[in-house]
Amino acid sequence: MLDSFEFYCPTKIEFGQHSVDKMKDYIEALGIKNPIVVTDKVLIQIPAIKEAIEKIKNVTIFDEVLPNPTSDLVMKLKKFVEDHKGDGLVVFGGGSPIDSAKGAAVLAYTPHDVKEYYDSAENKLPIKQALPIIAVPTTAGTGSEVSKYSVITDEETNLKESITSDLIIPKVAIIDPLLTVGMPPSVTVSTGLDALSHALESLVSTIENPLTNIMAIHAIELILDNLNLARIDGENIKARSNMSFAALLAGMAMSHCCGTIGHAMGCQLTSQYSIPHGLACAVIQKNALDYVGDKGKNIKLLVDYLDKSDNTIGEAISKMKDKLDKLFIQLETKMDLSDYDMKSEEIEKMTKDAMQHGCMGLNPVKLEKETVKDLFESLK
């Protein structure tokens, strides 16, 4: 018998080549009169994106988003939206522009600071409304176009904070694989590994469910089969399309299940050492398989499906570790962080912060502080 579960995805998904051409229709359908485009200075120079923006009426552009959006950046975007009387946000980019827009969508036309909406805030303000968002991902990884999370680096503490609400889920996600063709190999790899981490962690989260498991398993299959093809040949539109779809599926699963120790630890690596988020989470995944507890049954489902075989849970976990090893070898990417010169005192801080991260509590096996510290040490 299946357990009871809840699933909610209010985003209108428009997927396919040239789907960005329908942007104007969705802006009109949402009644947005003064759209604010949110992006960065690199993306705005890409011909396909420039062309899409030029078709938007009465548009104002904010192109100052940087990797790993900060609290100050979100506050700057809030003011920009208010100064230009924006009534909706159109976002081109990966997780950084989309997460920035989500934060600004909540803050616009309020007197509040972004810190007052952090999930960790002592007296967290309730989110009662948000400006509508149309998200156009240009990477295949974050899944932020269909998630209820905004991840923001607090400039005072250097911690990755989150804002969570159904109200910040984009109203429309336009996923046009052609917009990912310009991604360099390093970004292709990191964002693809982010999607892989979303899917793997969704499978073993304490709040996984049968529907998210289906999404996660298919996403993992697509990533294992297509990520390296997309890295080697960035214009392989079939591989790009499959990766865009995988990121969408993994994002939907992650939005319902949240993450586990991969994200609890990976967020600290990004904050402390500026390691690309997807890589930071992915290097944890192999060792994390030792701490999946009774959710090992879902790793068995995954490997049985991938290999068309029947394994014990232990065999499935071992085979999944082998698959991760092979993927990293294919990607010519190290599964350690020896290049980053990690210091023992910084590992102590990251361990403390990881233990307090919301995703840590959703891991099926409760880890002791020393175990988390040892996992960080193993990456040196």
Same domain, 214 and 188: yes
Domain boundary among 179, 206, 233: 179
Q: Which of 172, 131, 241, 137 is nearest to 25 (CA)?
A: 172
What average pLDDT score do residues 23-43 get? 96
d(CA 273, CA 342): 8
Same domain, 202 and 151: no
Same domain, 137 and 191: no
pLDDT band at 351 (very low <50, low <70, confident <90, very high): very high
What percent of the chain lies above the pLDDT cut of 90? 88
Using the structure block, give the residue that is written with the tokens 């989260």: 205
Domain boundary among 132, 163, 179: 179
Q: Tell me, yes or no, whether 1 lies in a domain.
A: no
d(CA 351, CA 373): 6
Same domain, 359 and 277: yes
Assess whether pLDDT exceeds 80 at residue 1: no
284-337 residue pLDDT tens: 999 999 999 999 999 999 999 999 999 999 999 999 999 999 999 999 999 989
Please report the pLDDT score of residue 318 as a whole number: 98
Same domain, 46 and 170: yes
Assess whether pLDDT exceeds 80 at residue 217: yes
- Give the least confident one: 85-89, 178-182, 213-217, 221-225: 178-182
R_g of the chain computed on alpha carbons: 20
Same domain, 253 and 345: yes
Same domain, 21 and 164: yes
Both tokens of residue 306? Answer: 């991938």
What average pLDDT score do residues 246-256 get? 96
Residue 179: HSE in the Cβ half-sphere, 13 Å Cα cutoff: 29
Residue 197: HSE in the Cβ half-sphere, 13 Å Cα cutoff: 31
Q: Which residues on adjacent β-strands are paired with residue 12?
A: 172
Same domain, 133 and 190: no
d(CA 8, CA 75): 29
Domain boundary among 179, 210, 231: 179
Q: Tell me, yes or no, whether 123 lies in a domain.
A: yes
Q: Tell me, yes or no, whether 101 lies in a domain.
A: yes
Please report the pLDDT score of residue 333 as a whole number: 95
In 3-state terms, what secondary structure has residue 161?
A: strand
Q: What is the CATH number of the domain that holds 129?
A: 3.40.50.1970
Q: Tell me, yes or no, whether 6 lies in a domain.
A: no
Please report the pLDDT score of residue 159 as a whole number: 86
- Alpha-helix runs per DSSP H in the chain: 23-29, 47-54, 71-83, 95-107, 185-204, 210-232, 237-257, 261-273, 277-288, 296-307, 313-330, 344-356, 369-377
Assess whether pLDDT exceeds 90 at residue 182: no
Same domain, 61 and 164: yes
Q: What is the CATH number of the domain that holds 295?
A: 1.20.1090.10
Number of domains in the chain: 2
Q: Tell me, yes or no, whether 151 lies in a domain.
A: yes
pLDDT band at 113 (very low <50, low <70, confident <90, very high): very high
Please report the pLDDT score of residue 4 as a whole number: 86
Q: Note the pTM of the prediction, 2 decimals.
A: 0.94
Assess whether pLDDT exceeds 90 at residue 2: no
Assess whether pLDDT exceeds 90 at residue 5: no
266-277 residue pLDDT tens: 999 998 999 999
Please report the pLDDT score of residue 158 as a whole number: 85
d(CA 100, CA 78): 9
Same domain, 25 and 48: yes
In 3-state terms, what secondary structure has residue 159?
A: coil
Q: Tell me, yes or no, whether 212 lies in a domain.
A: yes
Please report the pLDDT score of residue 25 as a whole number: 95
Assess whether pLDDT exceeds 80 at residue 283: yes
Measured over the CA atoms of residue 334, residue 336, residue 341 and residue 342, the dihedral's sign is: positive
Q: Tell me, yes or no, whether 2 lies in a domain.
A: no
Same domain, 154 and 221: no
52-84 residue pLDDT tens: 999 999 999 999 998 889 999 999 999 999 999
Q: What type of residue sits at position 363?
A: N
Assess whether pLDDT exceeds 90 at residue 23: yes
Tell me the residue ranges of DSSP E strands in 105-224: 133-137, 149-153, 160-164, 172-175
Mean pLDDT of the chain: 95
Q: Which domain holds residue 153?
A: 12-179
Same domain, 216 and 320: yes
Query: What CA–CA distances, in Å, run from 141 to 4, 58, 146, 203, 374?
Result: 29, 30, 12, 17, 28
Burial status of residue 130 (CB atoms within 10 A of its CB: 0-12, 13-18, 19 or more): buried
Q: Tell me, yes or no, whether 129 lies in a domain.
A: yes
